[in-house]
Structure 1
Amino acid sequence: MDSSRGQGGIQLLLAAEQEAQHIVNAARAAKMTRLKQAKDEADKEIAQYRAHMEAEFQKKIAESSGDSGANVKRLEQETESKIHNLKEEASRISHDVVHMLLRHVTSVKN
């Protein structure tokens, strides 16, 4: 009777092991399903966010490009003004710079 009892116990353990394996496999499958669902939801949210940001970007581009001709003209005027000021300043101090360089080049120090 002990051997039949031992045999029954082994069969019971094998059945329990198989049931545990089925439970683990079901849990893994459920986890994979949840992960796939979460990834799909995240992809959907990313696409919505990207579309929203792209729309805002296009709106800003449209706003800034509407007066881009005026901006370009203003920048060209500012650039010309700065170039003119630099040339005037350079011509004003070039004589002093030349004298200073000549003085340093021609002076001998021991």
Structure 2
Amino acid sequence: MTSNRGQGGIQQLLAAEQEAQHIVAAARNAKMARLKQAKEEAEREIAEYRAQVEREFQRKLAESVGDSGANVKRLEQETEVKIHHLKAGAEKIQYDVVQMFLKHVTTVKN
């Protein structure tokens, strides 16, 4: 009888060990599934963040290019105005400058 009892105890231990292995395997699989899900969520968040940063960069780039075009146009207009003022000023004093040159060139000093 003790032999049967011993045999039954061993069977119980083997069954308990197998059940424990199944529980550990199930827990390991659940953990791996959670890690995989967390990794996928993190990758999705990273992709969304990258897309957001890229959109912001492209928007700022477009603004700066637009601003640059506006700045170029504004600077061209300012330059044209300054050139016009310089030409007008030169025309005003052109006669006097020519007369001054002629006076200095034609005057002979001893």
Tell me if TM exceeds 0.5.
yes
Name the CA distance, whole Å, in 2 between partners of 1:75 and 1:54. 30
Name the CA distance, whole Å, in 2 between partners of 1:84 and 1:17. 93
Residue 18 of structure 1: CA displacement? 1.2
The farther-off stretch of 56-65 and 71-80 is 71-80
TM-score, scaled to structure 2: 0.64
- How many residues of Structure 1 are paired with residues of Structure 2 in the alignment? 88
Residue 67 of structure 1: CA displacement? 4.4
TM-score, scaled to structure 1: 0.64
Q: Which of 1 and 2 has greater Rg?
A: 2
RMSD over aligned Cα atoms:
2.3
Name the CA distance, whole Å, in 1 between partners of 2:101 and 2:43. 77
Residue 44 of structure 1: CA displacement? 1.3
Given the alignment of the two structures, is residue 14 of structure 1 paired with residue 36 of structure 2, yes or no?
A: yes
What whole-Å deviation, never above 9, does each CA across 1:21-77 have from its counterpart, x for those lacking one?
111011011101100101111111222122112111101211222343344443344
Q: Which residue of 2 aligns with 1:96?
A: none
Given the alignment of the two structures, is residue 63 of structure 1 paired with residue 99 of structure 2, yes or no?
A: no
Name the CA distance, whole Å, in 1 between partners of 2:53 and 2:28. 37
What whole-Å deviation, never above 9, does each CA across 1:67-110 have from its counterpart, x for those lacking one?
4334444334444556678x73xxx6xxxxxxxxxxxxxxxxxx
Name the CA distance, whole Å, in 2 between partners of 1:56 and 1:64. 12
Q: Percent identity?
A: 14
Counterparts of residues 25-36 of structure 1 (less than 5 Å)? 25-36=47-58
